[in-house]
Structure 1
Amino acid sequence: MSSGLARAALTGYRWAGMVAYPLIGPYLALRAAKGKEDRARRGERFGHASLPRPQGPLIWFHAASVGETNAVVPLIREMRRREINVVLTTGTITSAKVAESRLGADAMHQYVPLDLKPAVSRFLDYWQPDVAIIAESEIWPTTIMELGRRHIPQVLVNARMSDRSFARWRKRPAIAEALFEHLALVIAQSDVDAERFRDLGALPVMVSGNLKVDNDMPPHNPEDLARYRGQIGARKTWAAISTFEGEEMAAATVHRTLKERDGLLTIVVPRHPERCDELEKALVEKGLKVARRTRNDALTPDVDIFLGDTIGEMGLYLGLTEVAFVGRSMFAEGGQNPLEPAMLGCAVLSGGHVQNFRDTYQRLARNGSARMVRDVEMLVKAVHYLLTNDAARQSMIKAGLDTVQDMRGALISTVKGLEPYINPLTVKARLHPRAAAPA
């Protein structure tokens, strides 16, 4: 496809969105009925702001979901230290809760406008960002083109390109180039990611490492942690975190197999807590007793499964164990980020489908802090081995902490790459103190 045809295709995409715009309301209403949209804030998805824009320079950060939100938290705090205003958009209810709990007043949160020209234009007309900073792998054609039309610099930070996404873009190189040429800068997680973005037409591209390594420890209530540890006592524990369909039942199989030998408590933290009612029913049908965090159930000796059905408490769940299986890796594909359990002193186990975090897993595995399991039988053996072999478990934990320490520095590199865009805003913010915005 020629560059001219690629631009025509993107223009067609934009016009198709405008035609579909009137039909989006019922679709969002259906999603809200299923708990996937915030009913009270649906207007934000159409670009209607629910907060006043403060005076002074402003950066628009976009993070799709929980992982991306956590990744940009230290970067947002750095912008606020420089007195630059921040509006953060996310796409899910869970990420909105994470943003509120971790950032508070440091960022104004809005749900991301739909990638339709009326919504995007309304959002940009109101917020008038000086720079747009997008986390990881969010590529929305209309948004990118509209930012480009307004000459608003847009930077992709902590950028990654999965195998699947790269293969898809490679089939449409002209469209990829027509979009990525609008990016002022790509700051990639790894050399592989950087090379992929360059191949698709993005320039300039630099490598920073993973921002998630420079994050604070996940927050938790120390009183809750102490209380649960007291209830658990001498029982052995392990956790299956960020799990997807099928992996919770794999965790149940591990528990039933090892319960009598190891006196086990299994902690299960699904990636999507809204599935927990259904999961509890399935676990009970297997003869397992379930305690839930939202009910504040006690972890009595007869409890089999502690179901972590809350948002933003991974620090609590991982604080109760030293062995963690990271999900979306055995039956689903792509993997989830293993850095959090490694940072919190856990030996890391994972299935083999970790394409989205291949570089991170390779570094952890190479240093002896992560092990891959092919199937449920291998997971049973790995959990049993680590629970009964203190030396092996502690060796993996130490290797993980050392690896994370070696990987730090992404925040400094990212800020350095952003300096041409944020330094003028810092000067402007400090020369012209913000006045209170009108209500």
Structure 2
Amino acid sequence: MSIALAAWRIGATLIAPLLPLHLARRARRGKEIAARLPERRGEGAARPAGRLFWLHAASVGETVSLLPVIEAMAARDPALSLLVTTGSVTSAELLARRVPKAIASRVIHRFAPLDVPAWAARFIRDWRPDAGAFVESELWPNLLAAAAARGVPMALVNARMSARSAARWARLPGLLRETLGRFRLVLARSEEDGARLAAFGIAAPCWGDLKAAAPPLPADPAALAALKRAVGERSVLLAASTHPGEDGAVIAAHRALAAERTLLTVIVPRHPERGLAVAAAAEAAGLATARRNAGEPPGRDIAVYVADTLGELGLFYRLADAAFVGGSLVPHGGQNPLEPARLGCAMAFGPYMGNFAEPVARLLAAGGAVRVPDAATLAETLRDMLWVPGRARALADAAAAVADRDTGLPGRVAGALLDLLPPEAQGADGGRADGSRTPTTSGAWQGMNEG
């Protein structure tokens, strides 16, 4: 064990007595569920009989990308149970809504334990997964060490290493290789991520981006019909998954465009708790505003409709004539542009789309999206998309062709993950009588932590 990893273990152990206070504060802010805080200490295991595969996704985007993989794994191995850990309340709520009913009884959700050695060891000891996989860049050294100590084969899929992370790791390349040595299989999210990993001597093939292969976002048909009735003949502009600093630009664009034609602008804040603040900004600009979370409809007199609910973005992409993808006018890295692409919605986004560089490049090359250089040009770009005949349809059709490219990826990843399971049949305890497994070995095990 390196000095750096030893220091991490010691530091996590020393800070552990303070973490319950931190978790309680998060629960008061709605960031945790108070009744489920013991899960953050690795407690509350209820291991089912038979084989168990553990999947960890940090938040909403990673959880969505896992859903088709989960379905494929469950279909290929009808006796397999799947334990899914996440780190956010919103991802837990999304998983509960989106897992198909046919396999819901085989999918168990728990909040991931914090990376305290004793808590991580308890989680692995009590759940005894037969194999596991992390998604993207969510790595926890103590949790991975606990899995390795019990011989649990692990994978990292959609592995992500940004240019900034590569620069950081260049100062500690040995620590990177030691940390990533816990993984038997690594699949890079993009060729760029794979190249950055290769620069450290880590082979990580790229099969594609799971976020590029996710199914279309769902929508309730009755809710969509009701919204269409309320909207009437108005054009609909959607600002999807906005972040602080973007709402003002969207509101200004609405004011410019609404001076020309009747327009309803729907703003979906990335974090629904910002709904009140977004509505207040629109009202301060003199615009009649309604909030979905308050049960208010987008009536004929409403200019800005704040859709501050969770899990309804698919509804509004279907409603919109054109969309602006948020997280891109501010240096956040953007939200997933393939979501509107799958739903036939013409899109624009700002200059900060680094989290989705590869699909963005494909969309732009195919003529399936428009990049807005700054907030000042947002209204002009959206005017073209909304009201130039045929423009929105051409963008949407080109984007749909790009989005269809990776539809077979979840099944391929599912097969690779199932190959990690031990070939021998597992009993109800999922392992040997002492609760451990025979450790396995391989060549280069890889992964990446974006911090």
TM-score normalised by L of structure 2: 0.90
Q: What is the alpha-carbon distance in structure 1 between the residues aligned to residue 30 and residue 282 of structure 2?
A: 23
Counting only pairs closer than 5 Å after superposition, residues 416-427 of structure 1 correspond to structure 2 as: 416-422=415-421, 424=423
Offset of 1:305 from its aligned partner? Answer: 1.3
Percent identity among equivalent residues?
36
Q: What is the alpha-carbon distance in structure 2 between the residues aligned to residue 385 and residue 86 of structure 1?
A: 47
Higher relative contact order (CA 8 A, sep 6+): 2
Q: What is the alpha-carbon distance in structure 2 between the residues aligned to residue 413 and residue 207 of structure 1?
A: 12
Q: Give the SS at the match of 2:264.
A: strand
TM-score normalised by L of structure 1: 0.92
AA matched with 2:108: M
Per-residue CA shift, 1:190-231, capped at 9, x if unaligned? 21112222333544x222212233322212110110111111
| Structure 1 match to 2:155 | 155
AA matched with 1:39: A
Is 1:383 the equivalent of 2:382?
yes
| Structure 2 match to 1:38 | 33
Q: What is the alpha-carbon distance in structure 2 between the residues aligned to residue 101 and residue 52 of structure 1?
A: 21
Structure 1: gaps spanning 5 or more residues: 433-439
Mapped contact 1:156–1:183 kept (Cα < 8 A): yes
Q: Give the SS at the match of 2:309.
A: coil
Q: What is the alpha-carbon distance in structure 2 between the residues aligned to residue 315 and residue 365 of structure 1?
A: 22
Offset of 1:48 from its aligned partner? Answer: 1.0
Is 1:54 the equivalent of 2:48?
yes
Mapped contact 2:130–2:421 kept (Cα < 8 A): no
AA matched with 2:147: L
| Structure 1 match to 2:85 | 89
| Structure 2 match to 1:342 | 341
| Structure 1 match to 2:447 | none
Q: Give the SS at the match of 1:59.
A: strand
Is 1:76 the equivalent of 2:70?
yes
Is 1:192 the equivalent of 2:192?
yes
| Structure 2 match to 1:65 | 59
AA matched with 1:40: A
Number of residue pairs the alignment of both structures matches = 423
Mapped contact 1:163–1:356 kept (Cα < 8 A): no
Q: What is the alpha-carbon distance in structure 2 between the residues aligned to residue 149 and residue 170 of structure 1?
A: 28
Structure 2: gaps spanning 5 or more residues: 431-451
Q: What is the alpha-carbon distance in structure 2 between the residues aligned to residue 310 and residue 370 of structure 1?
A: 26
Is 1:26 the equivalent of 2:21?
yes
RMSD after superposition: 1.9
AA matched with 1:159: A
Q: Give the SS at the match of 1:241.
A: strand
| Structure 2 match to 1:128 | 128
Offset of 1:423 from its aligned partner? Answer: 7.6
Offset of 1:70 from its aligned partner? Answer: 0.3
Offset of 1:274 from its aligned partner? Answer: 1.3
Change (3 A) 1:422 1:149: closer
Mapped contact 2:52–2:80 kept (Cα < 8 A): yes
Is 1:116 the equivalent of 2:119?
no
AA matched with 1:8: I
Mapped contact 2:73–2:415 kept (Cα < 8 A): no
Higher mean C-alpha displacement, 269-278 vs 161-170? 161-170
| Structure 2 match to 1:281 | 280
| Structure 2 match to 1:170 | 170
Tell me which protein shows more helix as a share of its residues.
Answer: 1
AA matched with 1:69: T
Offset of 1:419 from its aligned partner? Answer: 4.4
Q: Give the SS at the match of 2:157.
A: strand
Offset of 1:269 from its aligned partner? Answer: 0.9
Mapped contact 2:53–2:82 kept (Cα < 8 A): yes
Per-residue CA shift, 1:138-179, capped at 9, x if unaligned? 122222222222221111112222222222222221110111
Is 1:102 the equivalent of 2:98?
yes
Mapped contact 1:61–1:89 kept (Cα < 8 A): yes
Q: Give the SS at the match of 1:207.
A: coil
Mapped contact 1:336–1:354 kept (Cα < 8 A): yes
Mapped contact 1:120–1:146 kept (Cα < 8 A): yes
